[in-house]
Structure 1
Amino acid sequence: MSRLTNVFTFGGPDERPSRWRRLVGMSFGMVYLFYPAADVFSGKVAGARMAWEIAALVSFVVAYLATVLSPRDTETPTRWTLPLLGLTTVMVVVYPLLFGGGWLALPIYMTVVYAMALPPRQALLGVAGMAAVVIGDGLVAGADGGTISMLLLQVTTLSVLFMTVRNTRQLVVQLRKAQSEAARLAAADERLRIARDLHDLLGHSLSLIVLKSELAGRLAGNDAEPVAREVADIESVARQALVQVREAVTGYRRRLLSEEIDGARSALAAAGVALTVRTSGTPLPDDLDELFGWAVREAATNVVRHAHATRCEINLSYGDAGATLEVADNGRAGPYLPGSGLTGLSERVAAAGGSVEAEPAPSGFRLKVVVPSRVPGCPVAV
């Protein structure tokens, strides 16, 4: 009897059990008190015995309701629950022996409490104990075989019914907890997606804004027309970045490889880097096209920020063996520490079943993304 569950609760898994609701639910079961009450008020008993039976009836009702309504936390009994359960059990055993007759219906109440309050194994032991009480007390009180059989049938059927109710309640609680956890994980994944997308989008756009601003500063003293053109480009890139952020937050943006190559060409040209693009094989499927679009954006951003290169090459191939994207530059080769951009790209590619290689080359830096052939219709997570 190490654990107790909530008895007759109707709220969610994180709500305090409503005692009033439990009281209303349990009041329907009071119909079985008709039998001992009929013995008391039918005139069969009188005088001191009647007073004792009324006191016993009141004490049982109080103890029973206190047991049902005793506060408890999920599956941990409080200091009052077990003593009240024991006291009520003693009354159920003793009162039929003292008063007989309709008092033999009391074990039915404890059957319901055991079935709802105890774990299955202990509940079965409690129900078996109540069946033994019905037989033993019934024989001592001189009840006929039909009455004992009827009470045993009610003990059995009600125990099965309320144990099923209890198990259903537990499944509902577990389902609500699982739904809450799934919602929490979905929110965490969405926050991660937004953070990753914002980094990838703004890193590229802001790098281009910085380059345009520096170029505009250098041209400011020479000719107003080139300065105005660069400032216009800065405004255009800033507006585009704002649109991209909004689309990333709402999850609507799709990275097209052709658009990213055009954007990379513009950004690299502003940084004085010549871009060469080579493609071979058949066109990429939509999911790989979007994935490689993110890869080109990240690679171009890194070249603009860190490489100090003059040339950059993008080589793309797609066929039966899978898809390969390689971006290489002739900039400075030095120690390599992966940043959040490459980390996010690696996560995207890994979700597609591919791999990322990013390492210094003999004359610059090389980024290689490989995605092997996949089962047709299997989507890529981007």
Structure 2
Amino acid sequence: MSRLRNVFTFGGPDGGVNRWRRLAGMSVGLVYLFSPVTDLLSGSVTGPKAYAEVAALLAFVATYVATALSPRSEGERGPWTLPLLGATALMSAIFPLLFGGGWLALPIYVTVVISMALPPRAAVAGIVVMAAVVFGDGMLIDADETTIWLLVLQVVTLGILFMTVRNTRTLNTELREAQGEVARLAAGEERLRIARDLHDLLGHSLSLIVLKSELAGRFFEQGSAKAGDEIRDIESVARLALQEVREAVTGYRQRGLTEELDNARAALSAASVTVTVRTSGTPLPDALDGLFGWAVREGVTNVMRHAKASRCDITVTCEDGVASLSVADNGRNAGPYIPGSGLTGLTERVEAAGGTVRSGPQPDSAPGFQLRIDVPYPRPTSPAVPASSPPSSQPVPDPPQPSRP
């Protein structure tokens, strides 16, 4: 994120609009030229000196306006900004010596430009220099001391004020950039979520549809009435998949472990795979229930599509602050193991919850494949038991004993 180097703009994406706004804002500040303009209009200055003052006044206003308008857009410093600023500062130092005390206000304009255009340290140094110019020129031309100190005070206060304005605009610009970046990241994360959900949902549902379609074809060839049952199951699975896809896109899909275990039993049984589900320990925390549901869906989908197994064991434990899930089969996978996009998405989900994923051949060299995830979770704290109880004169009854079957 680039830091704003020049903040002469007043908003708006178009550079031309910004320049007109800058010009309108600067025209208000031309009130400090009241004294030299009054001298010219009142006729107190005549002859060649009047022409010289008019030329000097026009030259100063031209360089000042050109300096302020030199950047084309917000966050950009024009190539002529610093040269024009130097020329404007030089004129603000020389003209009071040539034309008198009415021109001592010129350094105020330079102070405003310096405060808005230069980095903070350089701006502070420029303000000090302009204050010194006002004081030095005022003393050289023997101006009123009260006027000199008043102008010095204006240089310092306006310089600090416009530095604050510049910093505020810088922060606002950076805030807008940060908000844009957050929006882009949120959009990317949402696209990634939808991609993961669709892969997991459609991978499982389409695998089941393919399996049941094969069964329906076999039953049809045999003239069995079971073909109709399988076709009705295909319709049911397709409708459910369509509903789940819609819910995933809108972000409302909540996958519970119990629901996914039931779906796993039905899907694997249809694929002639013997399913064994074991659970132990305390119930899963709500935050992990949906995550383990995703994991069961991904593991069962892989068993159906790739394993060619006859048995699948699903084990869920939640003990000692660690929740674990294992999906193991006795299939035979040919070739080296390469994780797919489904396992990659599951790994991202588990790692976001602080857990780990292990997937690959069985660890004990047995045939088959195992998917295991381990996720720590905070165990509920027991209420504190006081170290001692105050003495009491009332007898304490014995707690009720549980009845035995």
TM range (shorter): over 0.9
Cα distance in 1 between the residues matched to 2:380 and 2:171: 38
Cα distance in 2 between the residues matched to 1:56 and 1:307: 90
- The one-letter code of the counterpart of 1:342 is L
Residues matched between the structures, number = 374
Q: Check the 8 A contact 1:6/1:75 in 2, yes or no.
A: yes
**Matched residue SS, 1:18:** helix
Cα distance in 2 between the residues matched to 1:96 and 1:370: 79
Partner residue of 2:371 out of 367, 372, 375: 367
| 1:324 matches 2:324 | yes
| 1:33 matches 2:33 | yes
- The one-letter code of the counterpart of 2:193 is R
Cα distance in 2 between the residues matched to 1:219 and 1:136: 106
- The one-letter code of the counterpart of 2:145 is G
**Matched residue SS, 1:172:** helix
- Equivalent residue for 1:172? 172
Cα distance in 1 between the residues matched to 2:5 and 2:99: 33
Cα distance in 1 between the residues matched to 2:373 and 2:139: 84
- TM-score by length of structure 1 reads 0.93
Task: Map 1:167-246 onto structure 2 (within 5 A).
Answer: 167-223=167-223, 225-246=225-246
Q: Check the 8 A contact 1:4/1:77 in 2, yes or no.
A: no
Residues 91 and 248 of structure 1, relative CA distance in 2, 3 Å threshold: same
Q: Check the 8 A contact 1:97/1:137 in 2, yes or no.
A: yes
Cα distance in 2 between the residues matched to 1:359 and 1:78: 60
Residues 278 and 159 of structure 1, relative CA distance in 2, 3 Å threshold: same
| 1:349 matches 2:350 | yes
Cα distance in 1 between the residues matched to 2:221 and 2:77: 82
Residues 180 and 314 of structure 1, relative CA distance in 2, 3 Å threshold: same
Cα distance in 1 between the residues matched to 2:379 and 2:168: 41
Deviations 1:154-182 (A, max 9, x none): 00100010000001110001111111111
- Equivalent residue for 1:311? 311
Deviations 1:280-328 (A, max 9, x none): 1222121211111011101100100111111111111112332111111
- The one-letter code of the counterpart of 1:112 is V
Cα distance in 1 between the residues matched to 2:255 and 2:177: 36
Q: Check the 8 A contact 1:6/1:72 in 2, yes or no.
A: no
| 1:69 matches 2:69 | yes
Residues 116 and 181 of structure 1, relative CA distance in 2, 3 Å threshold: same
User: Which shifted more, 316-325 or 234-243?
Assistant: 316-325
| 1:258 matches 2:262 | no
Cα distance in 2 between the residues matched to 1:33 and 1:233: 88
Cα distance in 2 between the residues matched to 1:375 and 1:146: 75
- Equivalent residue for 1:10? 10
**Matched residue SS, 2:200:** helix
- Report how far residue 37 of structure 1 moved: 1.1
Residues 355 and 5 of structure 1, relative CA distance in 2, 3 Å threshold: closer
- The one-letter code of the counterpart of 2:195 is A
- Report how far residue 363 of structure 1 moved: 2.4
Cα distance in 1 between the residues matched to 2:73 and 2:168: 19
Cα distance in 2 between the residues matched to 1:42 and 1:374: 85
- The one-letter code of the counterpart of 1:39 is D
- The one-letter code of the counterpart of 1:356 is V
- Equivalent residue for 2:391? none
- Equivalent residue for 1:249? 249
- The one-letter code of the counterpart of 2:202 is L
Q: Check the 8 A contact 2:325/2:373 in 1, yes or no.
A: yes
Q: Check the 8 A contact 1:92/1:110 in 2, yes or no.
A: yes
User: Which shifted more, 16-25 or 199-208?
Assistant: 16-25
**Matched residue SS, 1:9:** coil
Deviations 1:133-167 (A, max 9, x none): 11121112110211110110000100010000001
Cα distance in 1 between the residues matched to 2:32 and 2:256: 73
- Report how far residue 28 of structure 1 moved: 1.2
Q: Check the 8 A contact 2:279/2:316 in 1, yes or no.
A: yes
Q: Check the 8 A contact 2:93/2:133 in 1, yes or no.
A: yes
Cα distance in 1 between the residues matched to 2:302 and 2:132: 80
Task: Map 1:24-173 onto structure 2 (within 5 A).
Answer: 24-72=24-72, 74-173=74-173
Q: Check the 8 A contact 2:7/2:75 in 1, yes or no.
A: no
- Report how far residue 11 of structure 1 moved: 1.7
- Report how far residue 224 of structure 1 moved: 5.2
**Matched residue SS, 1:220:** helix
- Equivalent residue for 2:403? none
Task: Point out where structure 2 has 5 or more consecutive residues left out of the alignment.
Answer: 382-405
Cα distance in 2 between the residues matched to 1:196 and 1:325: 20
Of all paired residues, the percent bearing the same amino acid is 64
**Matched residue SS, 1:253:** coil
Task: Point out where structure 1 has 5 or more consecutive residues left out of the alignment.
Answer: 378-382
Q: Check the 8 A contact 2:7/2:169 in 1, yes or no.
A: no
- Report how far residue 78 of structure 1 moved: 2.6
**Matched residue SS, 1:252:** coil
Cα distance in 2 between the residues matched to 1:110 and 1:365: 76
- Report how far residue 267 of structure 1 moved: 1.2
User: Which shifted more, 197-206 or 70-79?
Assistant: 70-79
